[in-house]
Amino acid sequence: MKVLGIESSCDECAVALVENGSKILSSVIHSQISAHRPFDGVVPELASRLHVETIVPVYRQALKEAGVTSREIDAIAVTNRPGLIGSLLVGVSFAKALSFSLGKPLLGVDHILAHLYAPHLEGKLEYPHIGLLVSGGHTLITMVRSFDEVEVLGTTIDDAVGEAFDKVAKHYGIGYPGGKAVDDLSRSGDPLAYKFPHSRLDKGNHPWDFSYSGLKTAVINQSEKFLQPGKVASLENLCASFQKAAIDVLWNKIRLLVVSTGVRRVVAGGGVAANSYLRSLVNAQPGWNVYFPSLALCSDNAAMIAGWAWGALSRGDRSPLDLNAESRVARFKRKYP
């Protein structure tokens, strides 16, 4: 089954063709990063307008690279939640029009489940496994029992981890997107130079939850000290210390979950899964099976959408032509989907 995947939930306009949930025939990603860079963040209105301009050429390119005609597509899968509503609507409208005109089944796909599915596109993966989804919009630690049975154990109560990277980077003018810029500067910094707070939510009812706004504020407030006469400021040290605090919190929860459940398979997805410090910590664990998708599949892409959809389409799942876009998932929803 050849599934066409469409992803437009944020600032990547992507279309991919994936066969039987694993073989990527093409995966075209048009990133809007350069358009949003002057604003140091994604501008929702600009994002949706750019999706309108690019979705047709990206779709044509995906067909061309796969060597497939539109008639040979078996089904159309599209991210319909969560994300920026205007951006999501572009992908959903395009997918519905395509489904109607080609007479092919349509399926709305949850972006989060698709991120957690991404490693399946690069190899065999056993269930259950611990799934970590860390991006600009999400910070989730989950137990993944099958492609569509995901138990959310913890989530952020305020900022997402990638959002904290982006906001710190924006404050210090380091670059956009912030995560990679902070990661790069950290390589030549001392992670012990500053002591930043590690959020500890492990005493309450939701021990797996995260909080990043306190850390973000502490790092931003540090800039006042930079301005003091006689202080030698080092952005490298600041970045390395911030990165250590942000990632150690994630890492401690992963480690604790592995110990308490005995599940030693760990899958990570989302842009922050590209973080070199996180990768070095997780990969260094003897006896663990760790699946980090390649960088192209960590961040937003349409192959993960088409890949995930295959399982659901194969058992007969379909979305109606009045499929709608939904911007949010409930913040404390514990079971997924």
Nearer to ligand KG4, 79 or 99 (CB): 79
- Is 210 near ligand KG4 (CB under 6 A)? no
Strand order in the sheet with 139-146: 289-291, 265-269, 129-134, 139-146, 149-155, 335-336
Contacts of 221 by beta carbon, 8 Å cutoff, 6+ apart: none
Binding to ligand KG4, residues 3-42 (CB under 6 A): 10
Q: Which stretch binds ligand KG4 (CB under 6 A): 85-93, 177-185, 248-256, 285-293?
A: 177-185
Residue of 8, 26, 32, 135 interacting with Zn ion (CB under 5 A): 135
Q: Which of Zn ion, ligand KG4, none has residue 183 at its interface (CB below 5 to 8 Å by kind)? A: ligand KG4
- Is 79 near Zn ion (CB under 5 A)? no
Nearer to ligand KG4, 32 or 99 (CB): 32
Q: Which helix (H) or strand (E) holds 212?
A: none
- Is 108 near ligand KG4 (CB under 6 A)? no
Q: Which stretch binds ligand KG4 (CB under 6 A): 119-127, 226-234, 271-279, 308-316?
A: 271-279
Q: By three-state DSSP, how is residue 84 classified? A: coil
Instruction: Please state, as a whole number, how many other Cβ atoms lie within 10 Å of the Cβ of residue 126.
Output: 8
Binding mask 121-160 for ligand KG4 (x = CB under 6 A): --------------xxx-----------------------
CA distances in angstroms from 186 to 4, 23, 238, 241, listed in the order given: 39, 36, 8, 8
Nearer to Zn ion, 48 or 135 (CB): 135
Q: Which of 101, 108, 73, 92 is nearest to 8 (CA)?
A: 92
DSSP symbol at 210: B
- Is 165 near ligand KG4 (CB under 6 A)? yes
Contact of 218 with 196, CB cutoff 8 Å:
yes
**Residue appearing with tokens 């860390």:** 134
Nearer to ligand KG4, 99 or 186 (CB): 186
Q: How far apart are CA 228 and CA 260, in angstroms?
A: 46
Contacts of 238 by beta carbon, 8 Å cutoff, 6+ apart: 172, 189, 193, 194, 219, 222
Contact of 215 with 246, CB cutoff 8 Å:
yes
Q: Which of Zn ion, ligand KG4, none has residue 136 at its interface (CB below 5 to 8 Å by kind)? A: ligand KG4
Contact of 24 with 70, CB cutoff 8 Å:
no
Binding mask 291-310 for Zn ion (x = CB under 5 A): ---------x----------
Q: Which of Zn ion, ligand KG4, none has residue 179 at its interface (CB below 5 to 8 Å by kind)? A: ligand KG4
List of residues contacting ligand KG4 (CB under 6 A): 10, 135-137, 162, 165-166, 177-180, 183, 270-272, 274-275, 299-300
List of residues contacting Zn ion (CB under 5 A): 135, 300
